[in-house]
Amino acid sequence: MISRATELPVAEIRGATPGVENVLHFNNAGSALPPNIVVETVVDHLRREAAIGGYEAADEASGRLERVYESLATLIGAQAEQMAVVENATRAWDMAVYGYPFQSGDRVLICRAEYVSNVIAFLQLERRLGIEVVLIEDDADGQIDLGHLERELDLGAAMVAMTHAPTNGGLINPAVAVGELCANSGTFFVLDACQSAGQVPLDVAEIKCDVLSGTGRKYLRGPRGTGFLFAGPRALERIEPPFLDLHAAEWTSESDYEIRADARRFENWETNYAGKLGLGAAVDYALGMGIDATSARLCSLGASLRSALESVPGVSVHDKGVERGGIVTFAVEGVESEKLKTQLSAQQMNTSTSPAGHARFDLPHRGLPTLVRASVHYYNTQEEVDRFVAAIDALRQGN
């Protein structure tokens, strides 16, 4: 059950989240249910665009748009000029990593939990530039092995890239410890916080990362098609974005240009202003709730769901790590995960699946098939956890 230390005004929160009346939503690691304030912010701006024009509506909202950067900076302990708003976490990550000045032979250290799109990008850069991608093993608890990482750092590395919280499990990797090792060796550190932003507290000064990428739609409860990038001092010094436009750079003469000094060099001119404002509203809502409090509640709900599923005969839970969040992955003996997801959907219970082909360094390595992914949020309840587990047990017996 949820302890008193993690109590939030759940009834009020659910009252401001219309979706909970329609579905039991355990697909927050895919896209969470937004609160009313986010929906209203987006729709109101679209209506304003329709009323007075898109450019004019953006000009009118310029002050609020600027405050989005301040809110994002507050969320992760950064400065507003170190923040960029882009269309998603993967594009934010791409803009930094593809822009990094790699040389042939540079070593990049990644973990088994690395997100599929990131791995594909590094494999492309390996073919294109001749970098070497080095896989850091997991330790006995299933998180990144800090001893192995330190040994590889001693051999030299241009970059460490780590997914903080994988898409296919409850693991929260030890980002602060990794950042300390990278700082000690002077290695550039890129943190993919797509699943952790809003799920757990983040402080870039404590983590010591050079780059952090995140999304709006998951644990921040923002609109789809919104993401953000933190670029620290070394990132702004070293990285030239892989493409530029009149927003990212200034055309200074017929034959020259100058890239802007702040993180908005990673943006482009045309953007979804309604979505950006909605992202700001989501971040402000999260900050108002308190990330420590919301994280404690959703992690506690995740632990409750994990424990309850483990008690059901024929159900195996496959989350790793010392610290675990609100993502719970499991399989039911004799039932294909995609079939189970479909059966749950028919009962208005939203889940997702984590295909083995999207986690080739992890799930096949552990001999696991595609898993069901149930991801809770702070607006979910213990009653929903109990109802979900009862449905799993009933489906297990009926298949």
Structure confidence by residue, pLDDT tens digits, 174-192: 999 999 999 999 999 999 9
* Strand positions, DSSP E, 279-378: 315-317, 327-332, 349-350, 352-354, 371-375
**Average pLDDT estimate for 255-269:** 98
Those residues with Cβ within 8 angstroms of residue 167's Cβ, 6 or more apart along the chain or in another chain? 29, 115, 116, 194, 195, 327, 354, 358, 359, 373
> What confidence score (pLDDT) does residue 280 get?
98
Instruction: Choose one of 239, 262, 288: the last residue of a domain.
Output: 288
Counting every residue, how long is the chain?
Answer: 399
Query: Could you tell me the pLDDT band of residue 399, with boundaries at 50, 70 and 90?
Result: confident
Query: Could you tell me the pLDDT band of residue 98, with boundaries at 50, 70 and 90?
Result: very high
Contact between 221 and 33 (Cβ < 8 Å): yes
Same domain, yes or no, for 217 and 128? Answer: yes
> What confidence score (pLDDT) does residue 398 get?
87
**Average pLDDT estimate for 86-94:** 97
> What confidence score (pLDDT) does residue 162 get?
98
User: Tokens in use for 327?
Assistant: 């993502």
Same domain, yes or no, for 70 and 194? Answer: yes
Single-letter amino acid, residue 242: P
Please write the tens of the pLDDT for every residue from 292-313.
Answer: 999 999 999 999 999 999 999 9
Query: For position 165, which CATH number holds?
Result: 3.40.640.10
Same domain, yes or no, for 320 and 268? Answer: no
> What confidence score (pLDDT) does residue 3 get?
39
> What confidence score (pLDDT) does residue 72 get?
98
Same domain, yes or no, for 273 and 372? Answer: no
pLDDT at 1 over 60: no
Same domain, yes or no, for 317 and 333? Answer: yes
Those residues with Cβ within 8 angstroms of residue 33's Cβ, 6 or more apart along the chain or in another chain? 17, 18, 19, 20, 25, 221, 377, 379
- Cα separation, 296 vs 199, in Å, equals 9
- Cα separation, 211 vs 230, in Å, equals 5
Query: For position 378, which CATH number holds?
Result: 3.90.1150.10
Whole-model pTM: value is 0.96
> What confidence score (pLDDT) does residue 292 get?
97
Same domain, yes or no, for 226 and 321? Answer: no
pLDDT at 5 over 90: no
pLDDT at 68 over 80: yes
Instruction: Choose one of 288, 319, 353: the last residue of a domain.
Output: 288
**Average pLDDT estimate for 361-369:** 93
Same domain, yes or no, for 179 and 125? Answer: yes
Which region holds residue 344: left if phi is over 0, alpha if psi is between -120 and 50, else beta? alpha
Residue 382's domain comprises: 4-34+291-398
Mean pLDDT of the chain: 96
Q: What percent of the chain has pLDDT over 90?
A: 98
pLDDT at 2 over 50: no
**Average pLDDT estimate for 78-101:** 98
Same domain, yes or no, for 278 and 328? Answer: no
Instruction: Choose one of 255, 288, 321: the last residue of a domain.
Output: 288
Same domain, yes or no, for 392 and 274? Answer: no
User: Tokens in use for 395?
Assistant: 């489906």
pLDDT at 6 over 70: no
- Cα separation, 155 vs 384, in Å, equals 49
pLDDT at 199 over 60: yes
Same domain, yes or no, for 284 and 348? Answer: no
Query: Could you tell me the pLDDT band of residue 7, with boundaries at 50, 70 and 90?
Result: confident
Query: Could you tell me the pLDDT band of residue 354, with boundaries at 50, 70 and 90?
Result: very high
